[in-house]
Each structure stands twice: as C-alpha cells, then as structure tokens.
Amino acid sequence: MSDDQELGITESKQYNTGEWYAEVVQKAGLANYAPDGMSGFIITRPRGYALWEGIQNYLDSEFKATDVQNAYFPMFIPESYLEREKDIVEGFDPEVAWVTHGGNQELEERLAVRPTSESIIAPYMAQWVRSHRDLPLRVNQWCSVVRWEATDTKPFFRTKEFLWQEGHTAHRTRDDAFEETMTRLGQYRSLYEDVLAMPVMRGKKPEHDKFPGADTTTTVEALMPDGKSVQAGTSHYLGTSFAAAFDITFSDEDEEEQPAHTTSWGLSWRSLGALIMTHSDDQGLVVPPTIAPEQVVIVPIYQEDTEEKVLDYAEELRDDLAEAGVRVELDDRDERNPGFKFNEWELKGVPVRFEIGPYEVDDDEVTVVHRPDGEESVEARDEVVDSIEDHFDEVYAKLYAKAEENLAENVRDAEDRAGILGTIGQHGGYVRTPWCGKEECEEEIKETISAEIVMVPFEDDEERHHPDVAEGCECAICDDEATETAFFAKSY
C-alpha cells in the first residue's frame, strides 16, 4: 500500500495524455517498468495480467468454437529459416534480437528471437499437410514476441517484448483462405465491440503497408480519445507466397500437387493499452464489467455500535453475489475509512460499488454507484442480485456510447492537401479523402504532419467511402484519378 497522498492520479487525461496514461497504468497496479538496462520491457502485475486473461479467454473460446487448435513453437528461429522468406527478413531485420551463444559456446548458426513465427511454423505446416483431406489446417499460439524497436516505452502499446496470439492457417483455395481472414477479423471486432466497449473500423492496409509477403492485410482500427488511431488487430491473407517459400503443398482430388493458400492473424496486448486509454479518466482506471477482475466492490460504512450488523449484512450480500457468478470483493479493512476505499476502488477501475451503512441495513436496501459517471441508485436488497446484470449492461452502454460518439465526431472529409493537413492539425482523428493509391502521396502528408493512411475501407463497405470517389474525382494530393478512399490519422 502506497501513502495516501500518492494514491490519486495527478496528471490530466485531456492535457497530458501520455503522462496520465503512464500514471494510470502504474497506480492502478497494472504494470511496472523493467529495471535500468532493460528499457522497453515491462513487468505485468496481477491486475494487468487479469485483464489480458479476460481478452485471452474470450478470443480463445471464439477460436476453438471455429475449429482452431492451440500449439506451441520454440521462441528461437534459426537464421536460415528466417532467410527462406526474404520478404520477412527485409521486413523485420533491424528489429530482430539474436542469440549468438549458448553458455560460453558460440553457436554455429545464430538464432533469432521470434519477431513473429511464420518461418518456424510454416515448415511444419508443410510436413503436416499432404493431401486435400488435411485442409483446412488451423493452429494458434499464445506467446510473446520480441521486436527491438528503439522508441519510448509505453506499457502495452510499445514494448520490446509483447504478449499476443498468432494464428496460422492453410486452405485449398483463395476463397477459403480469404473467408478465414475475414472470420478472424470479425472475431477481433467482436472482442472490441462486445467485450471491451470500443467501436472499431474494419478495413485494409494500403498495398505498401501490408505485412511482408502478404497479399492482403486487413485491420481493425480504434480511435483513442487523443485523436490517434490504434491498429488494434490484423488478419492477413498471405496468398501462396508462404506456401511457395516453405513448400506447403497438397495433392488435390486428381492427385495434382497444389500450393496451399495461407493466412495469419494476430492480436497483442496493445488491445489492453487501447482499453485503458479509451475509458479511463482523471480518477484512474475504467473498464467495462465484462472484463473487470472485480465487477462489484462492497464498501461497508459503520461506527463501532453498528459494525456487527453492517458487516453481517455485507458478508451475506457478498456470498449471494458470488454464488450468482458475480466477481465481487468485500472491502472490510478496518484501518481504512470509506472515503479512502471509494477513491482506491475508483482508481482500480471496479465498475460498480455497493455502499452499505446502518440505514441500508434497517431499510433492506443497497446503494449502488456506477464507476464511469458516479450515478447513484438505491435498490431493494432482495432484488439487487437479480438486477446486477442490468447495472452491468448500463455501465457497458455508457462506456460504449462515449467511445462511439468520439469516433462519430472525428471522421472528417477533406478533398485537398491543405484540407488534410489543416483538419488533422486542428482536430486529430480521421480524415477521409479520395486517393490515387500511390505511396508518394501518403509520404508527402507523413513528412509534413506524421499522419499516415491507417486504413482503406473494403470495396463493399460503401458507407465508409468518400462520396466523390464513386462519381470519379482526383486524388486529394496529386492530380491522378482517385481509385479508393484513404483514412489518414496519426497513430500509435
């Protein structure tokens, strides 16, 4: 327990987002920074890990319900394996950490610490796939990967080692593989929209920003309250390029040898960073009840002469809630006063608080307070266990509505270079604009205000397209014909 005066958040979310975020992460007990000499790494504390487990449990059950099996591959990859797919090496080389010694012995071949696992998984998929009857093949692994980026540490958003899942599948046809790609993207979207109370936009990455070796990279993007976009999960249709590099082939019905179409898809604990950033406030962490390690905290309020009856009442209520499957904590610490407890549980992000004093006991009632906005109501004791799900739904709806409003208000159109620069400079958020598809046009914007094209909407997602593109117009940056809609934003 830290000192009382250290407990509260001192930075402002609105004016000092970066410092505020770091403070919430540490004071809500989610993570610590690693020791000197290990900058870029973090220690994930139990409360932080519990949130990650909530994300993990949801996705894992969705994956398993759709025929994915978990497996585990070594964290080291021989250099020669990485080199088999040249595009990957070019994509990741500067960020790869290498093992050169085992004990005192120099290795004959150095080993990469996995920046992603395609090049160690694909050779085994090649062994496992023989005939069309072996397809589709779907494996997923939960693991950490290392990318040695020289940037400032931002817990969960940017760390040299991060936790994620990576799914890898092989299919007979392009259509099957593409459908798989979209299925996984859809599961990422439902994680955000149904569990984390965060609306996201689905789309594709521009050609020049695809995953190395991929045919199509799809993404879900989430808008943060500071106007920056987070790439919140990606799903890649890899075509037959990995099959060609690693001999993932199968014999079809006519005994002809065919290359498999493969996919890979990953979601990291950046999702956790985005969750914290989206909902939390100047009092501390805010998370929806769907994922909160404790959904309800009961704070008893008593004097010496009422202690026994208040605590008895509170304990019985705790037991009833726990029996109904609610994650509930009774804070009966004698050495802390109720005000201190309120602040501490607000800091830790418990979505619903029950207050029980002598009046509640006498009237057979419970005072219920919602974390996000402090809304207070009084419920009858014999109804509160049944109505708790309604409170959870209300809290969830409040959080979702606020995030949805932020997204809706921050997609703006621009039809020329000055419009893009001015709009992002003034408001942040997304600028939707007609685009010719050339990387140079993005470069020009990137160099001026470090905003990039985070997403291009899918062809059939007409609502997301800039209205002028369908009618025929020029690229907002050059004079060529616009062929698609680009979403520019600054990003994490």
Residues contributing to the site for Zn ion (CB under 5 A) = 436, 438, 441, 475, 477-478
Shortest CB 204 distance to Zn ion, Å: 17
CA angle centred on 452, ends 240 and 118, rounded to 5°: 25
Shortest CB 227 distance to Zn ion, Å: 24
* Closest to 474 measured CA to CA, from 438, 424, 443, 445: 438
Joined together, the tokens standing for residue 376 give 């207070």
Shortest CB 460 distance to Zn ion, Å: 23
Burial 19-40 (b: 16+ CB within 10 A, else e): ebbbbbbebbbbbebbeeeeeb
Q: Which contiguous run of DSSP H or E holds residue 27?
A: helix 17-27
Smaller CB separation from Zn ion, 200 or 431: 431
The residue nearest Zn ion at its CB is 475
Task: Say how far apart CA 213 and CA 263 lie, in whole Å.
Answer: 11
Smaller CB separation from Zn ion, 273 or 434: 434
Helix, strand, or coil here: 13? coil
Smaller CB separation from Zn ion, 375 or 440: 440
Smaller CB separation from Zn ion, 260 or 475: 475
Shortest CB 488 distance to Zn ion, Å: 12
Q: Under a CB-based contact definition with an 8 Å cutoff, are residues 261 and 240 in contact?
A: yes
Shortest CB 12 distance to Zn ion, Å: 39
Q: Under a CB-based contact definition with an 8 Å cutoff, are residues 277 and 310 in contact?
A: no
Task: Say how far apart CA 447 and CA 139 lie, in whole Å.
Answer: 40
Shortest CB 422 distance to Zn ion, Å: 18
Smaller CB separation from Zn ion, 194 or 439: 439
Smaller CB separation from Zn ion, 193 or 413: 413
Joined together, the tokens standing for residue 244 give 């060609």
* Closest to 432 measured CA to CA, from 414, 409, 444: 414
